[in-house]
Structure 1
């Protein structure tokens, strides 16, 4: 087999808004039967690893925490601790437990993820340190020129059962423009994110493949990091995504209808 490991996106690739994509559970079992090491990678900014694993198990995927799900939240937590940063967190309240052991008093950094309650001017710290506004983040960045702006990811959209919804990317851009700051992106498509995920598997990037529904963050991000990239036409996929970026070098290594077809392609290599 050409590949020695697979990185697999979650939302939009294995499931959408609490529903497993048809054929995905069986396809993952086929991949396991082929004894190909897998790592599940996600840019989620609202779910801890424990809650992700629980959701996937409920949907029928035989995934354990030990296997591991590598998320942009956990990567951000590692970064904050390594740099001794005290974050002001603009996150969904469900993600906050991921940062329980990270000091947050007298913040000297801003971390932005998907936080619907925080992304409006009517949300006035209803829960003190839990729900913070974009205005709070801007004022911190303005007052502390050295404070880093950290984006858990800057995805433009994400898929829900009702359709595509606005992701955190536009809000990250708003803070960049207002504060005159460039955000550090932690999750996909940052090359360091893919490298960290593969490091746990002990596999070089040229022997790995990324399967996902986002042509920019999943596929082109992986390709820029040296992996092959497979685009599935589920989740946030839009007609013509496979041609995004024009040059042939940026085209997906394969574009397939869904995760089951991606596994078919992978096992044929």
Structure 2
């Protein structure tokens, strides 16, 4: 029985500035089938509003509370712990942390900072960590599909470097954090046993969802997918399909089982 759907964005719905063929109609089919949908993205180079604006340009009218981002999770964490952020993130993501102050300390927040990653910025974050700051990683992704179609280093490599140097383990806020998946499921009152996740990242989207207890996770052969990705990480995908349209075919066919 499938009662709710979690969809990754980059590599599943769009790829760079291009909508993946059939994505809009695939999402519409889920809605027509009465299945609630939440979008769960590890994108950390764009603000939440920028992502919503891009989806709107693609013809997908998504409400803010239907989109879950690591920056949003970080804001909530910082608020709960009354901490202020030391940001090592892409400049386009900084607006998502506007007006955050805390009276009980500081937390280093690391996302995909792109060209901002250099010795100076990494060393500054390292010094904050060894002086007592908490450590938040927006996502642990190893690589992402860059504008030239090739894979590039993602934030995970830099998070690992800071963990090694500071001897502190980062709190992961985006996928594959179980709390991240569960926040999205709770917002549509869907249990883990009746949910399905669709992503192009066999490690964080698919294996992460299954490890979090989600009953099904589909890997699409678009975005960052590379041949044999379905065999690189455990648990293996429930199914590997060509694209979001094929994923929706699978979901609707299995919905009542």
Is the pair's TM-score, using the shorter chain for normalization, greater than 0.5? yes
Out of 159, 162, 169, the residue aligned to residue 145 of structure 2 is: 159
Moved more, 234-243 or 154-163: 154-163
- The residue matched to 2:59 in structure 1 has which SS? coil
- Conserved 8 A contact 2:84-2:101: yes
Higher relative helix content:
2
CA shift at 1:18, angstroms? Answer: 1.4
**CA deviation string 1:29-85 (max 9, x = no partner):** 11111111000110111222211111011122232335x111111011100110111
Could you tell me whether the CA contact under 8 Å between 2:110 and 2:159 is conserved in 1?
yes
Q: Does 1:252 align with 2:251?
A: no
Contact 1:8–1:38 at 8 Å: present in 2 too? yes
1:118 aligns to 2:116 (yes or no): yes
Counterpart for residue 129 of structure 1: none
Cα distance 1:91–1:104, how it changes in 2: closer, same or farther (>3 A)? farther
**Secondary structure of the corresponding residue to residue 117 of structure 1:** helix
Cα drift, residue 106 of structure 1: 9.9
Match of 1:188 among 143, 163, 175: 175
CA contact (8 A) 2:126 2:166 kept: yes
Separation in 2 of the partners of 1:137 and 1:85?
Answer: 15
Q: Distance in 1 between matches of 2:231 and 2:20?
A: 24
**Structure 2: gaps spanning 5 or more residues:** none
User: Paired residue for 1:150?
Assistant: 136
SS at match of 1:176: helix
TM-score (norm 2): 0.94
Question: Secondary structure at the residue paired with 1:88?
Answer: strand
Give SS of 1:195's match.
Answer: helix
Question: Higher mean Cα deviation, 96-105 or 226-235?
Answer: 96-105
Report the Cα distance in structure 2 between the residues aligned to 1:178 and 1:154, rounded to whole angstroms.
17
Supply the distance in 2 between the matched residues of 1:59 and 1:160 (Cα, whole angstroms). Answer: 20
Q: Distance in 1 between matches of 2:36 and 2:58?
A: 21
1:170 aligns with 2:169: no
Matched-pair contact (CA < 8 Å) for 1:46–1:114:
yes
Written as runs of structure 1 = structure 2, the 5 A alignment for 1:33-182 is 33-66=32-65, 68-103=66-101, 108-121=106-119, 133-144=121-132, 147-162=133-148, 163-182=150-169
Q: Deviations over 1:76-110 (max 9, x none)?
A: 11001101111100011111111113117996211
Q: Is the 8 A contact 1:16 1:160 kept in 2?
A: no
Aligned partners of 2:82 and 2:102 also within 8 Å: no
Quote the Cα distance in structure 1 between the aligned partners of 2:82 and 2:14.
35
- Note if contact 1:205-1:226 (Cα within 8 Å) is conserved in structure 2: yes
Query: Unaligned stretches of 5+ in structure 1?
Result: 125-132
Aligned length: 252
Moved over 3 A (4+): 104-107
Quick check: 1:219–1:231 contact (8 Å CA) kept in 2? yes
